[in-house]
Amino acid sequence: MFFILSKILFYLIMPIIWILGLFLFGLLTKNQKRGRISLWLSLSLLLLFSNPLLVNEAWLLWEYEPVPLKNIKQYDAGILLTGFTSLEKSPHDRVYTNKGADRLLHTVMLYKKGYINKVLVTGGSGALRKTYTSEAQAVKNLLLLSGVPAADILLEDKSRNTYENAQYTKKMLAQYPSLQRFIVITSAFHMRRSTGCFIKAGVAHDVFPSDFNSTDRRLRPEAFIPDESALAGWHKLLHEISGFIIYKLMGYC
């Protein structure tokens, strides 16, 4: 039930839903005063949430900062969280990735440079309906194509969310007592929730944030021009913040 409710909440917190709701109320209400207020609020929210500068500042506050390679230690395994592949696109003779593919590329980089000895991929499928394969298996295929030997890839493909990522990974690591030092690799905006879940599960680790939504702070004229991508950015950020709060309330992280 929690899994399904979390999916429903994903849509309810979209800023565009609030904007459209206020706009429709303003058009349909018979109370002219409330209608005008609603329309002005709708326009104000649209300008606010479509501002690239504001959403970038919010990302800078929320995301974990990049970790310089000179500060990286030696680890028995890098724990790579999935969530950057699309399993509902055909033909199924290849792996489709999205923006989060930096997670994979940076994991391969850490492996090739000798910072991690193995890659533990954790993630089944977060889709409500059954998919043809797990995300972990899809990512394994990409790791193999990138030159990571099969012997150095471990799969956890039952988890459906971040909490289960940590719980199932903890159980799996019990089978590999020689693995003691870990670094968690996931998107910078998702690291706060991820590291909390792994700490709660009893998996001591360092972190390597990847897939950044923020850019370096720089004032440019276009930063003040409304952009539809800013709306998508706010939706993504608010979804993650609400998810983190819910996880805290549930005791997951």
Q: What angle do CA 233, 100, 204 make, to 5 degrees?
A: 105
**pLDDT for residue 87 is more than 50:** yes
Question: What does the pLDDT look like over 37-59, one tens digit per residue?
Answer: 999 999 999 999 999 999 999 99
73 pLDDT more than 90: yes
Q: Where in the chain is the domain with CATH 3.40.50.620?
A: 69-210
Compute CA distances 79 → 131, 229, 247, whole Å: 23, 30, 20
Tokens describing residue 177: 């007592």
State residue 230's pLDDT score: 95
Question: By C-alpha distance, which of 231, 235, 236 is closest to 211?
Answer: 236
| Average pLDDT score over the chain | 91
Residue 87, both tokens: 């399993």
pLDDT of res. 90: 84
The pTM score is 0.88
Choices 3.40.50.620, 3.30.360.10, 1.10.10.10, 2.60.40.10: CATH for 69-210: 3.40.50.620
- The pLDDT confidence band at residue 1, using thresholds 50, 70 and 90, is low
Q: How confident is the model at residue 75 (pLDDT cuts 50, 70, 90)?
A: very high
- C-alpha angle 188-84-57 in degrees, rounded to nearest 5: 30
Quick: pLDDT tens for 191-249: 999 999 999 999 999 999 999 999 999 888 888 899 999 999 999 999 999 999 989 99
Checking if the pLDDT of 128 tops 70, the result is: no
pLDDT at 219: 83
Phi, psi values for residue 76, rounded to 5°: -70, -35
Greater confidence (128 vs 1) lies with 1
